[in-house]
Amino acid sequence: MLVGCFKIFCKPASTSIKSRWRQTRIALPPTVSDILADPSRVRTRYARSRVSPSLFSRLLGSAHPDTSSASFYRLYEFLVLGWNIKFRDELEYFCRSHPDWAISSIPEPVDDVNPDPVRGAILAVLTQLMCDAFNRRIEYGLPRDAPPIVTDFDELAARPKVFEETPEWAKRVKPLDERFYIPNRDGKLLNWNDEDVSEEFKAMNIIVQAPHIHFI
């Protein structure tokens, strides 16, 4: 009888923990206004640098695996704060550590509870910048799954180039009706014609300093 009970309680669930996690909707990041109202709150959350997981955690697996949406939303927060180092590091992490995260497959941000056109426009432009950054590397013969130290450039060059594309939802996002300004890290608002202004964001009627998106 005890054996039978043991078998019942140990029967594998039809849906694994990781599967249920993947099906869970990732909460949207704060609005731009909320981030700028309390920048230290975001900086405190991301105070620690990203480190490699321990061997123990890699063997057992994580109960909360990272997702493309979570990383994408971190990029958004770093951009709004003008946190260039964190932004560039997160961009490289998305590109190189998770080559299976196709930009075109980033889930559409569902803005049911607190609709914010500015946040939606920024997220749409971010997918463009990500494509620009990743596709430049791919054009140079560095696919997203290229090893940190390349020993055979000929082998990489022989691979077919698979370029990233923006998601369909991002293509449907329209420019803002009213111009929106995001201050740089020093709290300064840039002008429309400043050379440091991002042209991609300007097309969406957003004035913000162009982030550093390229890396080797």
pLDDT for res 50: 54
Report yes or no on 50 lying in a domain: no
- Given a cut of 70, the residues of the chain with pLDDT beneath it are 1-25, 48-64
Assess if residue 192 is contained within a domain. yes
Count CB atoms within 10 A of the CB of residue 54: 9
Question: What pLDDT, on a 0 to 100 scale, did the predictor assign at position 129?
Answer: 98
Assigned domain for 11 exists:
no
Quick: pLDDT tens for 32-55. 999 999 999 989 988 765 544 444
> Residues 130, 187, 199, CA angle at the centre, nearest 5°?
35
Q: Which runs of E-coded beta strand occur in the chain?
A: 180-181, 206-207
3-state DSSP assignment of residue 123: helix
Domain membership of residue 52 (yes or no) is: no
Domain membership of residue 151 (yes or no) is yes
Cβ-based burial of 161 (10 A; exposed 0-12, middle 13-18, buried ≥19): exposed
Look up the domain containing 115 and give its range: 28-45+65-207
Write the DSSP assignment of 159-200 as a string of letters: SPP------HHHHTPPPPSS-EE---TTSPPPPTT-TTB-HH
pLDDT of residue 84: 94
User: Is 180 in contact with 206 (CB distance < 8 Å)?
Assistant: yes
Tally of domains in the chain: 1
In the chain, the largest separation of any two C-alpha atoms, in whole Å, equals 79
2 burial via Cβ count (<10 Å: 0-12, 13-18, 19+): exposed
Which pLDDT score is estimated for 153? Answer: 81
